[in-house]
Amino acid sequence: MPSQLQAELKQARPFKSLEEEAHLSIQRTAALLEHAFEAALKPNRITATQYNVLRILRGSEPSGLCRSEISERLVRQVPDVTRLLDRLEDAKLIVRERGGEDRRYVVTRITRAGLHLLEQVQHRIDEIHRKQLGHLDEAQLRKLISLLAAVRDRE
């Protein structure tokens, strides 16, 4: 009998290993979660990565962060954080200011418009989380979090 993932992918042959099936299951699940997340953000014309940057900067208020600190905290690594910040600055969601003595050090902070945008999308994001994961009880959620952390720890 084919697994649930085999059926979803319309795959006739079994997977080569449980590890392969687990890997593909994680990818498939992440893709479905991300698609809904991106769709919720689309009316506000931001991506999930831009949303992530805004959340990071909201949490760093009032001091802000430099580009490398933002890069280290991103959920999904991106090749060009500078361009990502450029787009957010063009949209007036963040501001960047040069440091005092070291002019190379640039501090990035979220603007009021950025904070307002986060407030606007929060209800939709909470709704998505409930829809996608609300059917799991607390013990299941904690186990899922623990298993995913165990996978990441091996990287």
pLDDT, position 102: 66
pLDDT tens figures, 44-90: 999 999 999 999 999 999 899 999 999 999 999 898 999 999 999 99
Classify residue 50 as exposed, middle or buried by CB count within 10 Å of its CB (0-12, 13-18, 19+): buried
pTM of the model: 0.85
> Average pLDDT, stretch 29-43?
94
Cα–Cα distances in angstroms (integers) from residue 108 to residues 27, 40, 72, 85, 122, in the given order: 32, 25, 14, 9, 22
**Where in the chain are the domains?**
45-153
pLDDT, position 103: 64
- CATH code of the domain occupying 45-153: 1.10.10.10
Nearest to 13 by CA among 21, 23, 2: 2
* Residue 88, phi then psi, degrees to nearest 5: -65, -35
